[in-house]
Amino acid sequence: MLNPGLYIVATPIGNLRDITYRAVDTLKAADQIACEDTRVTAKLLHAHDIRTAMTAYHEHNAAKVRPKLIRQLQEGGRIALVSDAGTPLISDPGYRLVTEAVAAGIPVTAIPGASATLTALASAGLPTDRFLFAGFLPPRSGQRQTALRPLAAIVATLVFFESPRRFAAVLRDMRTVLGPRQAAIARELTKRYEEIRRGSLDDLIQHYDSSEPPPGEAVIVVGPPEADAADDAPDLDAMLRRAMRDMSLRDAAASVAEATGSPRREVYARALALDR
């Protein structure tokens, strides 16, 4: 018997068989399944003979649907939240529902399972002891490079979601901002035509520059900076602390931004955080 509450259920990222028994049992016992696209989730439910009613919950209707879901939960409902593929809340509006449920004292339970982020990371052949999921990068090159700059000094493997149509352009921006690194592109994970391509950013740029964009969805995994590059990276926090001893916060941020070539807005934001 499923207790009242909100259940975060991981669903397959490709192969419909890649779902846990616990996830199937939870979806069957729930009063309702909140999903991104009812057409996508219907295929999963049909494959496992799950007949629970569905309701659409996605970024375009979340503000309208969320209060209704919270009200049902407060009345003792059992709602399962799923995404189109993988673990909910990873780049979808589910976290707002969870936040409001927690604030309302509603029990929230995660039913773990498939995750494109972790599946790609595990198969990339890159360090896994420290990693950062950075989600989707902006579509324009200038905005993309701005988003990548604060990630350059992070000594960890970086994980991104990306459209194959932009592979070549995104990889070039990564090479420009992050420098020469090892990387892997995992595409169509757990599906029939799964592909994992590994190599340096330069190798991958060359490959995707000379080939047609492949179909499907993909994860880009970029290794951490090499030891020498990490050692040479400026320690912004230390520089800011020293500068803030003798200067105002604004002047210290401007001075450090000029010395390191870092975006002034980002350095100022970091200075504010240190000052707090």
The domain spans of the chain are 5-114, 117-230, 234-275
CA gap 257, 247 in Å, rounded: 14
Fold agreement (5-114, 117-230): no
Mean pLDDT computed over every residue of the chain: 91
CA gap 86, 260 in Å, rounded: 39
Helix (H, G, I), strand (E, B) or coil at 10: coil
CA gap 100, 87 in Å, rounded: 19
Nearest to 70 by CA among 43, 101, 107, 108: 101
Cα end-to-end distance, the chain, whole Å: 48
- Least confident window among 66-75, 127-136, 154-163, 257-266: 257-266
For the structural domain made of 117-230, what CATH number should be given? 3.30.950.10
> What mean pLDDT is predicted for residues 233-239?
71
Higher pLDDT, 252 or 77: 77
- pLDDT value at residue 256: 82
CA gap 113, 26 in Å, rounded: 13
In the chain, how long is the greatest CA-to-CA distance?
Answer: 69
Q: How many helices (H) and strands (E) does the chain have?
A: 12, 10
Phi, psi (deg, nearest 5) at residue 58: -145, 180
Condensed to tens digits (0 to 9), the pLDDT of residues 247-273 reads: 888 888 888 887 677 788 888 888 888
Q: Does the pLDDT of residue 228 top 80, yes or no?
A: no
Q: What percent of the chain has pLDDT over 70?
A: 97
Q: Does the pLDDT of residue 130 top 90, yes or no?
A: yes
> What mean pLDDT is predicted for residues 143-161?
93
Q: Does the pLDDT of residue 30 top 80, yes or no?
A: yes
Structure-token match 């980002």, residue found: 266
> What mean pLDDT is predicted for residues 16-26?
96
Q: Does the pLDDT of residue 106 top 90, yes or no?
A: yes
Condensed to tens digits (0 to 9), the pLDDT of residues 41-55 reads: 999 999 999 999 999
> What mean pLDDT is predicted for residues 209-220?
87
Q: Does the pLDDT of residue 231 top 50, yes or no?
A: no
Report yes or no: 79 and 7 within 8 Å, Cβ to Cβ: yes
CA gap 116, 159 in Å, rounded: 10
Q: Does the pLDDT of residue 276 top 50, yes or no?
A: yes
CA gap 80, 77 in Å, rounded: 10
The dihedral built from the CA positions of residue 230, 235, 237 and 238, taken in this order, carries a sign that is: positive
Q: Which two tokens stand for residue 266?
A: 């980002």
Q: What percent of the chain has pLDDT over 90?
A: 71
* Side chain identity, residue 234: P
CA torsion angle 172 176 180 185 (round to 10): -30
For the structural domain made of 5-114, what CATH number should be given? 3.40.1010.10
* Verdict on whether the full-model pTM lies above 0.85: no
Q: Give the confidence band of 232 by pLDDT, cuts at 50, 70, 90.
A: very low
